[in-house]
Amino acid sequence: MDLKQEELALFIEGEWTKSMEMEPVFDKYTGETIACVSTCTKDDVRHAIASAKEAQNHAFAPYDRYRVLKEVSEQLKANQEEFALLLAAEVGKPIAEARGEVGRAVLTLEISAEEAKRIHGMGVPIEAAPDSPNRQAFTRRVPVGVIAAITPFNVPLNLVCHKVGPGLAAGNSVILKPAETTPLCALRLAELFRQAGLPKGRLNVLTGDGPSIGDWLLESEAVKMVTFTGSPKVGKLLREKAGLRKVALELGNNSATIVHADAHLDVAANLVAQKSFNNAGQVCISVQRVFVHETVFTPFLEKLVSSTEGLVVGDPKNEATQVGPMIAEKEAVRIESWVNEAVKEGAKVEVGGKRDGALFTPTILTNVKETMKVCSEEVFGPVVSVLPYSTEDEVIEKVNQSRYGLQAGLFTNSLSFAMKAAEQIEVGGLIVNDTSGYRVDQMPYGGVKQSGTGKEGPRYAIEEMTEERLVVLNL
């Protein structure tokens, strides 16, 4: 699909509606304009909310939700190369990785379709209460209603599917606001939903300024829930504005992975190299802090450096490329300044550390202090710090010295250490014998501390996106 010069509309009430104002979307490697998207107005937001609310008055049975989601999953698969090229252009994601994201999005929608048929409540044994022998009770899971879904730039297809898929499967109407820099896949996906016969108003896609659209959506009492993936700063703001409404937040992390003395070092080094630099490190569970037992620190570092040196940096549309540009040059400049600051304070660059426009070479740092920004803040770039430790208790404490807690990785063959870590490391998920960066789409995924609240993964997101309603029968 050649999007050059194409002017893309908003998707409201099942139709495409062009706005007066348009904003360009750029290819993140070449800088060329690849499309223009509509800038949504307050009236457009009102229209979307009204259509989403109205859609709730018309039945959309679970089996029909299943059929639409399954059809979109199949159509996405049939058009996977077009979506992968779109991702490579709008995100700057290497084409091989972009294909991986499309494949995962196909599965996320397929799992959501299946889950649409499995939403159920449970029996509640109230007859066991002393004054209720003639009563019975059960719960039902009912849709929340209209959900505002706001998504980040880095995984703009699969993370959209993680909100739209379960949202629709649960019987809600979804108003989606994709990231300003990467809205194209979401718009293309909306067209697949239209073609699959999704009832009008069940999905609306609004492009434009995040803060304005966010405010306009949350001003309306008709919006019953906000599900957000993005930075902790915006997440906190949305929670404040949402008041007593439901909020699901998938936020940042400075993910840790531990390599213990008994780990398989080749496997660990390869996986760490891969999961530190995927999408140029712009992944919320990207490995950022690697704690290595002091007895294997040097051999592990050598292996990690050699796995990293071989990574091909450059044009994301080139089949061989493994690391593409960052989302914007200013982000690469920020990373450069954080690395320079760390070096000034004593850190050593083992490999990488070079910037060329928006490209930043995969970088490994040692002699890092935990107070340095590259360690204590979320880097969200291709920079990993490798630090030594000596005891299990010490490393658990170091991992927990973070205001984040999304996922952590632990390479060890010691069952007792793995179980101790599972008990004591404060995260939403601990991945044993892989890095913090492991994720498949059916698993419960979400963080603690400033990494957010609530879980994604269709089955778990459906729980977030439904209310439990109790029905008591007086017999």
Q: Which residues bind ligand NAD (CB under 6 A)?
A: 150-155, 159, 177, 179-180, 210-211, 214, 229-231, 234, 237-238, 250-253, 284, 378, 380, 406, 452
In the complex, least distance from residue 285 CB atom to ligand NAD, rounded to whole angstroms: 7
For 366, phi then psi, to 5°, come to -125, 180
Encode 439-451 in three state secondary structure: CCCCCCECCEECC
CB of 152 to ligand NAD, least distance (A): 3
- Minimal distance, residue 213 CB to ligand NAD, in Å: 7
Torsion-angle region of 2 (φ positive above 0: left; ψ -120 to 50: alpha; else: beta): beta
Nearer to ligand NAD, 51 or 279 (CB): 279
Amino acid at 71: E
Residue appearing with tokens 């297809």: 157
Secondary element (H or E) of residue 131 = none
359-361-362-365 Cα dihedral, nearest 10 degrees: -120
Nearer to ligand NAD, 292 or 427 (CB): 427
Q: How many CA atoms lie within 13 A of 390 on its CB side?
A: 0
- What DSSP state is assigned to residue 29? T
Structure tokens at 367: 């002699």
Task: Output DSSP code: residue 281.
Answer: G
Beta bridge partners of 292: 259, 388
Alpha helices (H) in 223-327, listed in sequence order: 232-242, 265-277, 297-309
Spatial distance between the Cα atoms of 221 and 82, rounded to a whole number of angstroms: 38
Smallest distance, ligand NAD to C-beta of residue 151, A: 6
All residues at 6 or more sequence positions from 103 whose CB lies less than 8 Å from its CB, including other chains: 80
Angle (CA) 206 210 212, round 5°? 90
Indicate which residues carry an active-site annotation.
250, 284
What's the Rg (C-alpha) of the chain? 23
Q: How far apart are CA 27 and CA 251, in angstroms?
A: 26
From first CA to last CA, the distance across the chain in angstroms is 62
Between strands 363-366 and 383-389, the pairing is parallel
Q: Which is nearer to ligand NAD, 147 or 155 (CB)?
A: 155
**In the complex, what is the shortest distance from the CB of residue 442 to ligand NAD, in angstroms, rounded to a whole number?**
15
Residue 451 beta carbon to ligand NAD: minimum distance, rounded to whole angstroms: 6
Please report how close the Cβ of residue 389 comes to ligand NAD at its closest, in angstroms: 25
SS3 204: strand
Give 106's Cβ-side CA count (13 Å radius). Answer: 16
User: Which stretches of 278-370 are DSSP H helices?
Assistant: 297-309, 329-344
